[in-house]
Structure 1
Amino acid sequence: RTRLAGSPEQAEQMFHHFVEAVAERRAQRAKQEQESTKLKHERQEQHRRKVLPDTIKGHLNFVWGRDLGYGSYSVVRYAKLIESSIPQSLWLEYAVKVMDKEHIQQQNYAQQVAQEIHVLKSLDHPSVSRLFAQFEDAKNIYAVLEYCPQGDIFGLIFESNSTVNMEWFKFCICELTCSLKYLHEQGYYYGDLKPENVLLTESGHICLCDFGSCKSMQQLEEINDRLLKDESHGDAVQFLLQQFSGTVEYLAPEIVTAQRVSPAADLWALGCLAFQLLASYLPFYADTREELFRKIRERDFAFPLTMDDCSQAKEIINGLLTVSSDKRYGYLQLCSHAFFRGMDFNAPYDNPSPPALNLKRSNSDEVDAKWKRRKFSMMWNPIPDPTSTENITAALLDAIPEVHADLMHWEAYT
């Protein structure tokens, strides 16, 4: 009351002091939040190069959040590692793949799970989702993976009925090319490149996930050798479909025609994805599997009218979607193409500021929403190979010795 009873000058001065105090408190709070975020990012980056402590052996070490995605035998959930010595806002974030043991056993996915964990343990690259640890309980197997807060590009782009800008398209194809090159140099065929398996890190770089369909070059050679012994073409195609369980719309012609399969099949899938990014729908789709395979064999697709001004991008896609794997675009053709002039294929992940994903709302009549998300009828689980051994555990331990040490009590659920 005494202050309000003063002169107007005193009241105005008091008001200015109040405004300055509020502004100062807001600035301090913003600075604290900025420092906290910076510290969190630094801890996340430092932790990326490490594995979780050996004491992390159960789901009770984590605070669990929402579901991030679903697979044929798993669900991926957001989780934070509990660290009581620091504020909860600084707890490290992870994407934990939870795999149901009973479902794995019923659907004969044991070897696929073991292969995926083995592959992830052997890879160390910015473009590959890092495996920090794995553990299990009576019901599930848990794989603690790198968390990419922006999610996959399917959810970002296609579920919003949008198309990407050309600068980001170049960046995306460049990083995916480098990712596949790294995998092939490490002796692996990826086998399931699609928008749902392409994540964006917090900084905006590309990160591949889901290596359940990944195969080593030795496994590819064994499959090709077995293929030569099959006299029936129909049996050979069925055999390849059992071996390559990736999404059918991205399968290369050599798989659906029972020809020799090589890592070049990944580059065909890259061509399908490149087309999808610019057109907002798949290049090959049909109501039946037979019709879909016919279109893939005959390369039966057409560019939309919206891509008439994208001649160089269409040239890249045509080069990748070449039926003959020997004539299909490889890394040298992609790196040296004029379309990618100015792109650094040697160290794209060193760029601290990748292009922004500025989406454009698509209003093309050619975009049919039913083809953006693959139909359930176009998916199928691989049929168990009748020639495989009944003792899955023994086969796994012979092929991948590390699995027995990493996954405790494997025999209990195989």
Structure 2
Amino acid sequence: MFASKLHDFQEMRVLGHGGFGTVSVAQHISTSKLYAIKSLHKEHIAQTNQVVHTKTERRVLCHTEHPFIIKLHSAFQTRDKLYMVLDFCPGGDLRFHLNQMDGMMSVKMARFYCAEIVHALIYLHAKGIAHRDLKPENCLIDDCGHIKLVDFGLAKTGVQRPERGAYTHCGTFPYMAPEVLHQRGHGFAVDYWSLGVIAYEMICGWHPWYFNDSGDGDADVCPAGFAKSNALCFPRFVSRCAQDFISSLLIDNPLKRIGGHSCTEHPFFTKINWKLLYSKAYVPPIRNCNYKHFSPTYVSECITLYR
């Protein structure tokens, strides 16, 4: 990490808004390098009881160093705001790319990004960290087309087992594992469940428990724990190998759910050399990353860092 202050950066463009604050891109004046800067209003953090989550994210990022996990380069504050200087990922997130591809990727592309996510998860879990909010929106694409896991506000540290170590009901509903939904206690296996949902979406084109029974044309998703039927169905075009990989991730019992090095050894990843993957020797399927991968509304919204 390096020390920095507000005046070390030039004007920014907004990349996204949220309840947390704003994420913008800024240029570091002395190096000309681009960074994503996450700014958070102290008052809002306090009012919404987000102090613990904010501290958790910073603590996790300060103690992680992995090619497929966002890097925290600096952190500073003013009287009213907190700032985190992070990697700038001009490729947007996986959700954007799924939408651009009508909700579905090629199996080759899905395999590549699933492999990078698995590599990052193995690293995190070895350090006792469960992400607990893995979803396409939290899988960014960097300037070279590689995955960067982000948003560690809901992460849990000190988790040593797949099925226990945490008890908070948290995450994003369509990606929550059954043990989280039913508040049975959970461990790092929840991240592999979320990966299973993401993999299903990438390969099949929709959520595994996507349904429409309202009669008004509006569709919704229901995690397996709350679904009328937990049966996992696949389109005919999905290979048996891909079906088996996804089904192994979406097992209700976290102790039987595939994870860790069992994932790397699954036939779905036969074509992946994990050392080459870690060294970024593979050419990513998504390239030429730039502002086109962000909402035009945000990109056109120039703001000044000192506002």
Shorter-chain TM range is: 0.7 to 0.9
Q: Letter of the aligned partner of 2:230 in structure 1?
A: R
Give the secondary structure class of the aligned counterpart of 2:274: coil
Distance, in Å, in 2 between the alignment partners of 1:301 and 1:125 is 33
Matched, 1:280 2:205: yes
- Structure 1 176/102 Cα, relative in aligned 2: closer, same or farther at 3 Å? same
Give the secondary structure class of the aligned counterpart of 2:199: helix
Q: CA deviation at 1:297?
A: 8.8
Deviations, residues 132-166 of structure 1 (Å, cap 9, x unaligned): 11111122100000111111111122255242122
Deviations, residues 65-103 of structure 1 (Å, cap 9, x unaligned): 3222234312211111112xxxxxx71000000111111
Which structure carries more relative contact order (alpha carbon 8 Å, separation 6+)?
2
Residue number in structure 2 paired with 1:349: 278
Residue number in structure 1 paired with 2:55: 114
Residue number in structure 1 paired with 2:300: none
Distance, in Å, in 1 between the alignment partners of 2:12 and 2:138 is 20
Q: Is contact 1:299-1:323 (8 Å) kept?
A: no
- Structure 1 291/342 Cα, relative in aligned 2: closer, same or farther at 3 Å? closer
User: Which of 53, 61, 75 is matched with 2:22 structurally?
Assistant: 75
Matched, 1:319 2:248: yes
- Structure 1 127/137 Cα, relative in aligned 2: closer, same or farther at 3 Å? same
User: Which of 133, 137, 143 is matched with 1:202 structurally?
Assistant: 143
Q: Whose helix proportion is higher, 1 or 2?
A: 1
Q: Quote the RMSD (CA, aligned, Å).
A: 2.8
Distance, in Å, in 2 between the alignment partners of 1:219 and 1:309 is 34
Q: Is contact 1:171-1:354 (8 Å) kept?
A: no
User: Which of 259, 265, 276 is matched with 1:330 structurally?
Assistant: 259
Deviations, residues 306-357 of structure 1 (Å, cap 9, x unaligned): x534221111110100011111112233222222112122451313342423
Deviations, residues 223-260 of structure 1 (Å, cap 9, x unaligned): 968x9xxxxxxxxxxxx5xx242111111011122223
Give the secondary structure class of the aligned counterpart of 1:245: coil
Structure 1 stretches lacking a partner, 5+ long: 1-50, 84-89, 228-239, 359-414
- Structure 1 142/325 Cα, relative in aligned 2: closer, same or farther at 3 Å? same
**282-291 vs 61-70, which moves further:** 282-291
Q: Letter of the aligned partner of 1:352 in structure 2?
A: A
Give the secondary structure class of the aligned counterpart of 1:96: strand
Q: Is contact 2:210-2:221 (8 Å) kept?
A: no
Structure 2 stretches lacking a partner, 5+ long: 288-307
**154-163 vs 118-127, which moves further:** 154-163
Give the secondary structure class of the aligned counterpart of 2:39: strand
Residue number in structure 1 paired with 2:90: 149
Q: CA deviation at 1:213?
A: 0.8
- When the two structures are aligned, how many residues end up with a matched partner? 281
Residue number in structure 2 paired with 1:134: 75
User: Which of 174, 191, 194 is matched with 2:115 structurally?
Assistant: 174
Q: Is contact 2:121-2:260 (8 Å) kept?
A: no
Distance, in Å, in 2 between the alignment partners of 1:116 and 1:296 is 32
Identity of aligned residues (%): 29
Distance, in Å, in 2 between the alignment partners of 1:309 and 1:267 is 20
| Deviation >4 Å, runs of 4+ | 218-221, 285-294
Distance, in Å, in 1 between the alignment partners of 2:161 and 2:22 is 28
Distance, in Å, in 2 between the alignment partners of 1:61 and 1:335 is 42
User: Which of 97, 100, 103 is matched with 2:41 structurally?
Assistant: 100
Deviations, residues 82-129 of structure 1 (Å, cap 9, x unaligned): 12xxxxxx7100000011111111101011101110110011111111
Which protein shows a greater Rg?
A: 1
- Structure 1 296/265 Cα, relative in aligned 2: closer, same or farther at 3 Å? farther
Q: Is contact 2:43-2:80 (8 Å) kept?
A: yes
Give the secondary structure class of the aligned counterpart of 2:56: helix
Distance, in Å, in 1 between the alignment partners of 2:83 and 2:271 is 42
Give the secondary structure class of the aligned counterpart of 1:97: strand
TM-score by length of 2: 0.82
Q: Letter of the aligned partner of 1:144 in structure 2?
A: V
Distance, in Å, in 2 between the alignment partners of 1:104 and 1:146 is 23
- Structure 1 296/137 Cα, relative in aligned 2: closer, same or farther at 3 Å? farther
Q: Is contact 2:9-2:27 (8 Å) kept?
A: yes
**256-265 vs 141-150, which moves further:** 256-265
**287-296 vs 328-337, which moves further:** 287-296
**200-209 vs 210-219, which moves further:** 210-219
Q: Is contact 2:169-2:183 (8 Å) kept?
A: no
Q: CA deviation at 1:301?
A: 4.3
TM-score by length of 1: 0.62
Give the secondary structure class of the aligned counterpart of 2:186: coil
Distance, in Å, in 2 between the alignment partners of 1:291 and 1:315 is 21
- Structure 1 172/218 Cα, relative in aligned 2: closer, same or farther at 3 Å? closer
Q: Letter of the aligned partner of 1:105 in structure 2?
A: A
